[in-house]
Structure 1
């Protein structure tokens, strides 16, 4: 089949590479425009744009699929549109332009966690498993019939970044199998079943750690917002990024929520239940450092972390 592919971030790259290596004709890659990154705000291609250039694929840069982008895509006369984390909506008439419409690889087991940040919300909610789903794109958000899905258990220590990398690899294989089935005329899709939940895009405020919650909820939030938008707290009025934590030993001393203490060369911080060990932090204006070393440098006798 003649395909167009839309995607932007790193988790979309494995799917692009698998499709480029398939028997199908990848007519164009749609991705968002180069964005300023880093302290110097250097214009940088998206991961998908960089991969497409490496693969020698025709690339269309567009932050949204407006009338101009729609005209350019429709001129390619695609048989199927494929979208993985593009970051924009596909509306009519583009939605119906390909012969077989559009399919979307989504990193959850639909209808749970429809929306922009399914992996992050799964971790924050404490889900035991997530997965990847390939579904038929419809106007309603992530509501189309599902062609295939694959469950993936969530490791106890996984961050959102870790989990997205694993799902991106598994999902790429799942996606290509669905494209092959559509080409062969054997693909079957079934309506989504169950009550939908929604995973809106996370902002900086979602990364604020709430030490008054139970240990499991605090862990889930930290891992769910790592690496983006990032977990953070305040100590003595200064913002501190929390980069890595783990549960404290069972015999660790009890601490009030947010209270910190050094124990056996490790920095503990209290939650509503059991304490956590802060492994790595990044104070404002400084690089990552061992949390216990950072704590020793504080002037306060008993610093308390706040959200």
Structure 2
């Protein structure tokens, strides 16, 4: 294996664990480059404990002064874990072996910031975590290594994120070692899809949709964000964190609240009932007043 200088572009605990794993494998990790706004005492202490230089990116990793700092590292491989900025061509051109990136989706079929949301919302059986060499196109470039994370058991988003973290350090270390061994990757195949930042109404539950679509949207959001619904006459939203399909036989128009209590609500979707088990009512609206009300995706004005 070629011994080259590596800079880790990240500040999270896993990025330091990756540095440890690479150092243990005989790699020359020379610096930690935290994303803008994350250079705190914890990062500095963790870097100092490992004898690693910390590079402050200032206002942007693409700032000319920052690029000069990165060039001075004389690193031959950058390994990115968590920088939110799109890297300029001048940054990508600095290391001889390129910039390796870890993406929580398949390339090119699940590019962008929210492939996990899309995967749960659309009912994919798995997400494909991808280690790839970065190119000028966002979340694109030659693929070094992938791994399949099953999500066909209807998990909530926090569970999917945990599955992506579990084993990620070892997976990413293997991708780095692949590059050091001469692997240059292959282009991804298939349709190109991009899932950008969530839109303002992506968290609104659509009760006119099939029950499973309602539940998938909620699972794609919760627990980091609740699903929202609105009740006529109340400006505040009904916030929903947990729900499940109900076997109750009652029939009602989509959005109608069939039953309400302190612990759960029963609401009709297009093709069945949903039992809401964790929620927050709008201000000044007791749960018993919800019975017979209709939930809507349109906020009252």
Q: Deviations over 1:57-96 (max 9, x none)?
A: 5252545322222222222111211123321011121111
Number of the residue aligned with 1:201: 197
Give the secondary structure class of the aligned counterpart of 1:239.
strand
* Change in CA separation of 1:301 and 1:183 when aligned onto 2, cut-off 3 Å: closer
CA contact (8 A) 1:117 1:201 kept: yes
Report whether the alignment pairs 1:305 with 2:301.
no
Number of the residue aligned with 1:246: 244
Give the secondary structure class of the aligned counterpart of 1:193.
coil
Number of the residue aligned with 2:139: 142
Give the secondary structure class of the aligned counterpart of 1:204.
coil
Query: 1:204 and 1:7 mapped to 2: Cα distance?
Result: 29
Task: Work out the number of aligned pairs and report it.
Answer: 282
Compute the displacement of 1:55 (Å): 4.7
Report whether the alignment pairs 1:222 with 2:218.
yes
CA contact (8 A) 2:35 2:82 kept: no
TM-score, L = length of structure 2: 0.84
Number of the residue aligned with 2:271: 273
Number of the residue aligned with 1:38: none
Query: 1:83 and 1:22 mapped to 2: Cα distance?
Result: 14
Pairing 1:1-16 to 2, within 5 Å after superposition: 1-7=4-10, 13-16=13-16
Q: Deviations over 1:211-270 (max 9, x none)?
A: 111112111111112234432111242212211111112x44233211112289742111
Query: 2:266 and 2:72 mapped to 1: Cα distance?
Result: 60
CA contact (8 A) 1:244 1:279 kept: yes
CA contact (8 A) 1:63 1:88 kept: no
Query: 1:254 and 1:156 mapped to 2: Cα distance?
Result: 27
Query: 2:129 and 2:145 mapped to 1: Cα distance?
Result: 8
Larger Rg: 2
* Change in CA separation of 1:219 and 1:72 when aligned onto 2, cut-off 3 Å: same
Number of the residue aligned with 1:290: none
Report whether the alignment pairs 1:19 with 2:19.
yes
Report whether the alignment pairs 1:126 with 2:123.
yes
Compute the displacement of 1:158 (Å): 1.3
* Change in CA separation of 1:33 and 1:123 when aligned onto 2, cut-off 3 Å: same
Aligned partner of 1:190 among 179, 186, 193: 186
Aligned partner of 2:109 among 108, 112, 121: 112
Query: Which has the larger strand fraction?
Result: 1
Query: 1:164 and 1:52 mapped to 2: Cα distance?
Result: 26
Pairing 1:59-208 to 2, within 5 Å after superposition: 59-62=55-58, 64-65=60-61, 66-185=63-182, 187-208=183-204
Query: 1:13 and 1:281 mapped to 2: Cα distance?
Result: 32
Question: Where in structure 1 are there 5+ consecutive unaligned residues?
Answer: 35-44, 286-293
Question: Where in structure 2 are there 5+ consecutive unaligned residues?
Answer: none
* Change in CA separation of 1:134 and 1:208 when aligned onto 2, cut-off 3 Å: same
Cα RMSD for the two superposed structures = 2.6
